[in-house]
Amino acid sequence: MTETINIWCGETALYDEARPHPPGILLDICTQLAHNQQPSVVVDLGSGTGLSTMIWAERAQHVIGIEPNVEMRVQAECQRVACSHGERIQYQDGLSTQTSLPESCADIVTCSQSLHWMEPAPTFAEVARILCSGGLFVAYDYDWPPTVHWEVEQAYHDVIARFRRIRAERAIDRGVKSWSKENHLLRMQDSGQFRYVKELVVHHTEEGNAQRFIGLTVSYGIARYLKHGYLTEQEVGLDYLQCVAQELIGPEPIPWYFSYRVRIGIK
């Protein structure tokens, strides 16, 4: 567990700069399904640097981000200070399996790009415990990479394939555990904690240049291994991706199209 919690240490600024913000339409969907346009309490599990927490500041009366990584919480707190309605947000140490929150306290519990790091059964049990009756659990992930340019995306996939192979061959992440995103919905169904589950897809547009695309790529986890000398840019093909991205995206921002896969559960 400690290895998983510490996987982003030293990379929080990169994560915050490169990763996308959740789509605004997701808030409309969540509040409609929860039958509550202004939730009293929204809890964001694995809140990271606060990208998925701050979007609720204007819609919810109180937002609680649960994040076990202290560096992530520090980065999130810096962002909160500058956020409109930031006084409605608080961050606290905790796990998805042990939030220390009261029973039935939340109208909505969210989990953005983080459920795959969480032990499924005890996480769903904790979510059900803190959700009020009829409350909504929503876990969402974006597809990697965003739709930008097919040749850039092809080079990206080559980098990720090389990275995964090297990581497995060298057993770099022996203590890090994760669960497949593809089976999130099935695990939610099998948990018995939700009376209704559903999966849907929403889309979101942001802008980015070549530099941000490289930042997004290395934020996949590659940055830490480069820093510690576990691998080189040449080994994973990052040097080639940089050339392709600079040529085909360039320094000026262009539209990036993100697809989000959203799993919802009603308690």
What's the per-residue H, E or C state across 177-233? CCCCHHHHHHHHHHHCCCCEEEEEEEEEEEEECHHHHHHHHHCCCHHHHHHCCCCCH
Q: What is the mean pLDDT of residues 104-118?
A: 97
Q: What is the mean pLDDT of residues 150-173?
A: 92
pLDDT of residue 9: 61
pLDDT at 108 over 70: yes
pLDDT at 4 over 70: no
Decide: helix, strand or coil at residue 255: strand
Q: In whole angstroms, give the CA distance from residue 43 to residue 166.
A: 36
pLDDT of residue 7: 61
- pTM of the complete model: 0.93
Question: At 168, is the pLDDT very low, low, confident or very high (cuts 50, 70, 90)?
Answer: confident
pLDDT at 10 over 70: no
Q: In whole angstroms, give the CA distance from residue 263 to residue 232.
A: 36
Which domains, from first to last, does the chain contain? Answer: 2-144+178-208+256-266 (3.40.50.150)
For the beta carbon of residue 238, count every other beta carbon within 10 angstroms: 23
Question: At 2, is the pLDDT very low, low, confident or very high (cuts 50, 70, 90)?
Answer: very low
Question: At 177, is the pLDDT very low, low, confident or very high (cuts 50, 70, 90)?
Answer: confident
pLDDT at 78 over 50: yes
Mean pLDDT of the chain: 93
Q: Pick the more confident residue, 227 or 31.
A: 31
Phi, psi of 110 (to 5 degrees): -115, 160
Lowest mean pLDDT among 8-12, 224-228, 252-256: 8-12
Q: What is the mean pLDDT of residues 14-23?
A: 91
**Residue closest to 260 by CA, chosen among 95, 27, 33, 36:** 27
Is the omega angle on the peptide bond into residue 146 within 30 degrees of 0, that is, cis?
no
Q: Are 136 and 264 in contact (CB under 8 A)?
A: yes
Encoded tokens for 7: 């996987």
